[in-house]
Structure 1
Amino acid sequence: MQKSLITMAAVAMLAGCSLAPVYERPDQPVPQAWPAGDAYKGVPQAAADAKPVSEIQWRDYFADANLRKVIELALANNRDLRVSVLNIEKAKAQYNIDSAALLPKLSASVSQTASRTPSTLSGTGESFINRQYTGGLVMSAYELDFFGKVRNLSEAGLQSYLGTEEARRAQQITLVSEVANAYLTLIADQQRLKLAADTLQSQQTSYDLSKKRFDSGVTSGVDVYDSQTSVESARNDMAVYTAQVALDQNALVLLVGGDVPAELLPSGDLNAVTQLAAIPAGLPSDLLRSRPDVQQAERALRAANANIGVARAAFFPSISLTASGGSASTNLSGLFKAGSATWSFIPQINLPIFDGGVNRANLNIAKADRDISVAQYEKSIQVAFREVADALATRGTLDERVASQQALVEAAEKSYRINEARYRKGADSYLNALISQRALYAAQQGLISTRLSKTSNAVTLYKVLGGGWQPELAPPRG
């Protein structure tokens, strides 16, 4: 009997069966090509040998040296990313706990058992104390994994652990894009502040001229008040964008996880900072599988699939072994001497007969969790496809928007110069100059916003296409 059980245990450990369903990746519930139409005509087609975005590392993608340094600071100090790294360590430790159940647990112990027999119960009429000392190795309740219960638990733990790694990758890619967008937004608001300052200076000059002409009796007070409204509007914008620049810097500091050195803060314009590498477009939709959030959803699906095997194994007998071997003696000095060897072997078979439907309910729960994970995986694919399609649609129209906005600025500037010159020569009232000035100011603000949209879209495309993961620098000590 003993040899049979040992043989069965060896066979189970080497070639045990698994009751988990064979994993099959669900079909993608999205088209096999990106959308086409007027919105996508401006998207450049990818070359046949174009490198996938998931293989383009962020250090190669962002060309501005200061921006790269700011991103490096964020990767080393951002607290959300640090939590993601610690979650990986936690999941890895949990996986080690789950996988440890595949091996028997041995422990060494030395114990004493003492009992006193009263005189009324002893055969000699005298009380006495009986002592027994034991020591050796103990293997407690090692379950033979005939039906793959332990291995499926370990597989589920492994997939959860790998899922946390994918979550960390997604967190890093998101952080890189957030830092880049915060950096670009700061540049745009700095430009808006400068535009407001230039406008205030220009309108202050026009206001001074209007006031002099009014004092000379050349014009009415309406021109003075119209000019003053433009001055006060520009002054208000100065205050608004001064605060906004400070808010942008605070947001960047939070993302970086510490102060940003002054020499790394942007001081140029959007065109100078965002000379980013081109992203190949027109890629097949199966590229979405490289996104870490999609891979994380698939890891969760694999874990749910393994849990079905765990639930199914509960319907079958389980065999556990408890064994010990060592020495026993009535005297401590007699332990481990010749003739004191002792051992015990306790196999136990547990056959479920009636559990009130608990095992069936657990199996139904495991299947429902698997179906939920399938739906979540498919939803992650659909969300990823929608995000890429939106980014491509925006990109396909941005060049036309920038060109039209630039033409609008040029036309508004010419109109303002003509009306301003007519007013200075006394050929027209200040109202037309004021209207054209406001149109120019709005067009210039719109041009800054459109350029920001174009550069931010490049960052968004890098993120939604699963931009290449790259290990961050080690966090500074202390």
Structure 2
Amino acid sequence: MNTSSLRRATTVLSCGAALAFALAACSFGPNGTPPVMPQPAHYGAEPQPTQTVQANGVAQQFVAGAQAVPEWWKLYRSDDLNALVDEGLRNSPTLAAADKNLAAAHEQLRAQIGSSLLPTIDANGQATRERALGFPSLGPNTSLYNVFVGQIQANYTLDLFGAARLADKALAARVDTQAYQFDAARRALAANIVSAAINAAALHEQVDTTERLVVLANQQADDTKRRYELGAASHSDLLSAQQSAAALSASLPGLRQQWLTTRHALAVLLGRTPDAAPADLDLASLHVPENVPVSVPSDLLRARPDIRAADATLKAAAAEVGVATAQMFPSLSLTASMGKGGFSWPLATSGAGALWSIGASLTQPIFHGGALFAQRRAAVDTYEASVAQYRQTVLAAFQNVADTLASLEHDAQALDAASTAARFAQQIFTETSARYRLGAVAVTNTRSSEQQYRNARLDEIRYTGARLTDTATLFQAMGDPLPATASTSAATTTATASPASTSAAHD
């Protein structure tokens, strides 16, 4: 390469670098900062209490401002429940698929950064034998010859207006979104396993209690039938007893179906087939957590993976506005190659066969049928939609917490009343049974008091399960205090180094 060629190439590179630095302060899109959200004084329409009423000897404390608990299911103090959650987190195919998809997204981000910010260098070798037409007046009609060429080619597109860096930033934010969604899926899986295990345990007890009620109702119908045959009961009494027994029997298959469906769902959550569903937990072995954290709204925005995912999506949309804007401006590409070539192998490898080239290409879009402007408007609309979606995600999170806090308070109230009713009904049944053994009352009185107790017990079982399940829902709603998955941080730092994305100006 001679001196004048080197001087021209140096001039082109210097001009390109100077133009890039001159545009360092430019901004082609919003900075992706999420909108300021209101910070409510309390989550619900009414101020949340500091604790629930006492039910079954436990009054749950709402610890305002406390951090969320990462492995909250261990607060139920059940080794069997802990084992189920651990198994599900290890073996869930859905979680494994999400993990691999996230790993693939990381690699795609690395590939895009490498291809967009670094030059490409390729080696090219060529050996051909060609036949060309000649000129009859000057020589043979045709000529045969060989061509040997070996080259190293380099290509680099200067990112003058930050289009490539903004595209990398957008993809990095999309990967962050996927990482937060994976965190949310992992926490949701744990919550679903806990809820399914609690529901299966509660339904098992409800099935057992209902089966006993069916037996008592059938016995009552049989007794009424004998009394009717003896003339001690009316026909309407008989029909009423038979109708009650039949109605109660009709409710049992649906309850069993619900129980089995829950067990099957739990097995699949654990990565098992439905026929390998785990044994039901003992509902009485599950301890309701006494201290429940209630994060302040500002902490909730940082703790919930769904809000962090919406934030990352918003940042990606902001960067894509910058990409669409930068595509309207010139792009400069540099190419260079060097190698050897000739019509024979000795000539190609000699000093006479040296080949080289260097060039620059500047492209300025002029007319694309309005496509570039339409693409930018679409990017702006997508960004504005992301802002609205972020707002909606935050509001839905506040509602989720508010609803669950109210549910826990009402669960405790209902459970307290149901437990009191069941306790009184059990006392009545115990006293009636004692009087029956002494011959003071008929067996029908004992049976009726047991039915009353079993019905009260059904309500107690339902509200016990609801309280345990709603507690799990609140722990899930509080999010995770640990930092978000950091696997994309390095790529994000690289992708956000574009000077064109540092300004807070909006289009």
Q: TM-score range by the shorter chain?
A: 0.7 to 0.9
Q: Which residue of 2 aligns with 1:4?
A: 11
Q: Which residue of 1 aligns with 2:300?
A: 287
- The correspondence of residues 162-173 of structure 1 with structure 2, limited to 5 A, is 162-173=176-187
CA drift at 1:191: 0.5
- Residue type matched to 1:161 in 2? V
Please point out which of 165, 180, 190 is paired with 1:176. Answer: 190
Seen in structure 2, the aligned counterparts of structure 1 residues 346 and 123 have a Cα distance that, compared at 3 Å, is same
CA drift at 1:35: 3.1
Question: Tell me, what secondary structure is at the counterpart of 1:146?
Answer: coil
Contact 1:288 / 1:466 at 8 angstroms: preserved in 2?
no
Contact 1:297 / 1:377 at 8 angstroms: preserved in 2?
yes
Stretches of structure 2 lacking an aligned partner (at least 5 in a row): 1-7, 53-60, 485-507
Q: Which residue of 2 aligns with 1:378?
A: 391
**In structure 1, how many angstroms separate the alpha carbons of the residues matched to 2:354 and 2:73?**
67
Question: Tell me, what secondary structure is at the counterpart of 1:37?
Answer: coil
Please point out which of 33, 38, 63 is paired with 1:46. Answer: 63
**In structure 2, how many angstroms separate the alpha carbons of the residues matched to 1:122 and 1:144?**
51
- Residue type matched to 1:266 in 2? D
Q: Which residue of 2 aligns with 1:272?
A: 285
Seen in structure 2, the aligned counterparts of structure 1 residues 170 and 263 have a Cα distance that, compared at 3 Å, is closer
For residues 222-251 of structure 1, the C-alpha deviation after alignment (integer angstroms, 9 at most, x for no partner) is: 655555445444544444433333222111
Contact 2:44 / 2:399 at 8 angstroms: preserved in 1?
no
Seen in structure 2, the aligned counterparts of structure 1 residues 441 and 113 have a Cα distance that, compared at 3 Å, is same
Say if 2:95 is the partner of 1:81.
yes
CA drift at 1:130: 3.4
Decide which moves more: 229-238 or 325-334. 229-238
- Residue type matched to 1:244 in 2? Q
Question: Tell me, what secondary structure is at the counterpart of 1:133?
Answer: strand
Q: Which residue of 2 aligns with 1:307?
A: 320
* Percent identity (aligned): 24
Q: Which residue of 1 aligns with 2:502?
A: none
Q: Which residue of 1 aligns with 2:417?
A: 404
Seen in structure 2, the aligned counterparts of structure 1 residues 12 and 258 have a Cα distance that, compared at 3 Å, is farther
Say if 2:140 is the partner of 1:131.
no
- Residue type matched to 2:371 in 1? V
CA drift at 1:297: 0.8
**In structure 2, how many angstroms separate the alpha carbons of the residues matched to 1:429 and 1:244?**
33
**In structure 2, how many angstroms separate the alpha carbons of the residues matched to 1:228 and 1:373?**
61
Q: Which residue of 1 aligns with 2:334?
A: 321
CA drift at 1:463: 1.2
**In structure 2, how many angstroms separate the alpha carbons of the residues matched to 1:158 and 1:199?**
60
For residues 80-118 of structure 1, the C-alpha deviation after alignment (integer angstroms, 9 at most, x for no partner) is: 222211221232232123212111111101013544233
- The correspondence of residues 414-429 of structure 1 with structure 2, limited to 5 A, is none
Q: Which residue of 1 aligns with 2:200?
A: 186
Question: Tell me, what secondary structure is at the counterpart of 1:366?
Answer: helix
Question: Tell me, what secondary structure is at the counterpart of 1:124?
Answer: coil
Q: Which residue of 1 aligns with 2:265?
A: 251
**In structure 2, how many angstroms separate the alpha carbons of the residues matched to 1:121 and 1:375?**
77
**In structure 2, how many angstroms separate the alpha carbons of the residues matched to 1:187 and 1:12?**
70
Contact 1:66 / 1:264 at 8 angstroms: preserved in 2?
no
CA drift at 1:11: 6.4
- Residue type matched to 1:352 in 2? P
Contact 1:12 / 1:144 at 8 angstroms: preserved in 2?
no
- Residue type matched to 2:37 in 1? Q
Question: Tell me, what secondary structure is at the counterpart of 1:280?
Answer: strand
Please point out which of 449, 453, 456 is paired with 1:443. Answer: 456
Decide which moves more: 127-136 or 160-169. 127-136
Contact 2:294 / 2:478 at 8 angstroms: preserved in 1?
no
CA RMSD, Structure 1 to Structure 2 (Å): 3.5
CA drift at 1:278: 2.6
CA drift at 1:443: 2.9
Decide which moves more: 76-85 or 308-317. 76-85
Say if 2:113 is the partner of 1:104.
no
Question: Tell me, what secondary structure is at the counterpart of 2:125?
Answer: strand
Contact 1:184 / 1:456 at 8 angstroms: preserved in 2?
yes
CA drift at 1:167: 0.8
CA drift at 1:412: 4.4
TM-score by length of 2: 0.80
Contact 1:115 / 1:131 at 8 angstroms: preserved in 2?
yes
- Residue type matched to 2:286 in 1? V
**In structure 1, how many angstroms separate the alpha carbons of the residues matched to 2:436 and 2:100?**
67
CA drift at 1:12: 7.5
Please point out which of 145, 148, 154 is paired with 2:162. Answer: 148
**In structure 2, how many angstroms separate the alpha carbons of the residues matched to 1:345 and 1:47?**
67
**In structure 1, how many angstroms separate the alpha carbons of the residues matched to 2:434 and 2:250?**
26
Decide which moves more: 462-471 or 77-86. 462-471
Seen in structure 2, the aligned counterparts of structure 1 residues 153 and 356 have a Cα distance that, compared at 3 Å, is same
Stretches of structure 1 lacking an aligned partner (at least 5 in a row): 472-478
For residues 440-465 of structure 1, the C-alpha deviation after alignment (integer angstroms, 9 at most, x for no partner) is: 44432222111111001111001111
TM-score by length of 1: 0.85
Seen in structure 2, the aligned counterparts of structure 1 residues 128 and 32 have a Cα distance that, compared at 3 Å, is farther
**In structure 2, how many angstroms separate the alpha carbons of the residues matched to 1:15 and 1:90?**
37
CA drift at 1:292: 0.7
**In structure 1, how many angstroms separate the alpha carbons of the residues matched to 2:132 and 2:273?**
76
